[in-house]
Amino acid sequence: MEPTAAARPTRGEVLELTVDALAFGGAGVARRDGYVVFVADGVPGDRVRAEVLKAKRAYAEARAIEIVEPSPDRIEPRAAHPGAPWQVLPYERQLSVKQDQVEDALRRIGRLEDFELETILPAVEPWRYRNKLEYSFGTDASGRLVCGFHTPGRWEEIVEVTDCLLASEAGNAARERVVEWCRDQGLSAYDRRTRGGLLRNLVVRESRRGADGELQVRLVTAPGELDRSGLAAAAQPIGGLLWTRTDSVAETTQDGETELLAGSDRLEEEIGGMRMRISSSAFFQTNTEMAERLYRLAIDYAQPSGTDRLYDLYCGIGTIGLLMAPRAAEVWGLELVEEAIADAIANARLNEVDNARFFAGDVRLALRELVARAGRPDILVVDPPRSGLSQKVVRRIIEAAPRRIVYVSCNPTTLAPNAAQLVEAGYALRKVRPVDMFPQTPHIECVALLERGGGG
């Protein structure tokens, strides 16, 4: 049904709506006379009063301010946690929605057919599964320093957490020790509007299997002075303490200059029987237990043999390539972040893997050069960022002409058009399996297998 002009609301208007479904990204979907309203904090079956935040010609964005009649599926949340918006849905329902959303993206966005959609792989642990959390500093109404997460839609507000249910007890305790020290020192939160204050973020990273659950803490501040020796003593026991100073206006923990204050600047983790050392800025899957299952699935799809040349694109610290190396003739990894490549090379040595080579470079520009140097790949594994692959990278992959492509995706809506481009070039999408890396959230990971021509 086409929406009527009268159906379009105005910003600030409060609507009473029934949520029918969940959109990719987690918002509830409701309709008023055919006009679509995406409702944050609404789940299918809810009758809500929602305040309109944005209104466009085809749809509006709103936030539920009152649950008039809760959905039969709705359950009580375990914690006030903006990072766990789906905790109001039973876990089995979360899995069902994610499975459906992957299929919808592939069929509706990619217009793909004739593939096998395997049943979603559930998480090992639905809570306390994250090995890395990035917290933000702020100030409450009384002027007290707090540390937690930004309120969705209200960037200036911070929801304080004292027990983050996505983090381990040890990780929570380390955060609280550092925050208490910051309060004792009289340090203030950075204000992006005035550029005043010092404290920006606190990053707590944990080794789930290596070095007895060792922790790494990184304090991110604006440029300024800090009693570093006092912080090191207050933060213990931890394996490493780092201080990053940045004058970036953006809310990011990646920029700036980082100094090691105590311990080691790398964490050691074990995955798939291999030891991995991870630098503070390098990417590593934030759910260690499910990363192992994700990579096991990627290996199963890749089916490397002792004669295969394997490319690992966006290889990070080399985890996927190194796990596949014992089954392949040779592995070549490519990654833009130089520090991650240094980790990958060190990890190859650490695990005595001598048939893997890693290089720093932009995949768009370096893939053609890698093919000229190493030869065409038999198998290509790609694990891109949420934005997926650019058309240029897809063209370079098609030029490289691997027999088999394993695409590890953290965003089905970018996997779908990328897979469609590869299918148009002569590949067949064989199968896809969603993997629930992030329970209580709308985020979806999946692995796809594409084969050239008839495969084999």
Residue 182 has phi, psi (to 5 degrees) of -60, -40
Q: Name the H helices within 258-390.
A: 288-302, 319-324, 338-350, 363-374
For 426-430, the CB contacts below 8 A with 24+ separation are 426/452, 426/453, 427/451, 427/452, 427/453, 428/114, 428/452, 428/453, 428/454, 428/455, 429/106, 429/112, 429/114, 429/115, 430/115, 430/116, 430/455
Q: Name the H helices within 303-385.
A: 319-324, 338-350, 363-374
- For residues 394-411, b (16+ Cβ closer than 10 Å) or e, as one string? bbbbbebebbbbbbbbbb
Q: Provide the CB-side half-sphere exposure for 321 (13 A, CA).
A: 33
Determine if the peptide bond prior to 237 is cis (ω within 30°): yes
**Token code pair at residue 190:** 């950075």
Kindly tell me the burial class for residue 291, based on how many C-beta atoms sit within 10 Å of its own C-beta (0-12, 13-18, 19 or more).
buried
Give CA–CA dist 326/122, Å, rounded: 27
Asked if 15 and 52 count as a contact pair (C-beta separation under 8 A), the reply is yes
Asked if 276 and 319 count as a contact pair (C-beta separation under 8 A), the reply is yes
Asked if 140 and 133 count as a contact pair (C-beta separation under 8 A), the reply is no
Just list the catalytic residues.
410
Asked if 158 and 135 count as a contact pair (C-beta separation under 8 A), the reply is no
User: Which residues does 225 contact at the CB level (< 8 Å), separation at least 6?
Assistant: none
Sign for the pseudo-dihedral over CA of 265, 270, 273, 279: negative
Closest Cα to residue 328, out of 348, 305, 312?
305
- The full length of the chain comes to 456
- What is the Cα gyration radius of the chain? 23
Asked if 347 and 274 count as a contact pair (C-beta separation under 8 A), the reply is yes
Residue recorded with tokens 């192992």: 292
**Token code pair at residue 102:** 């992957």
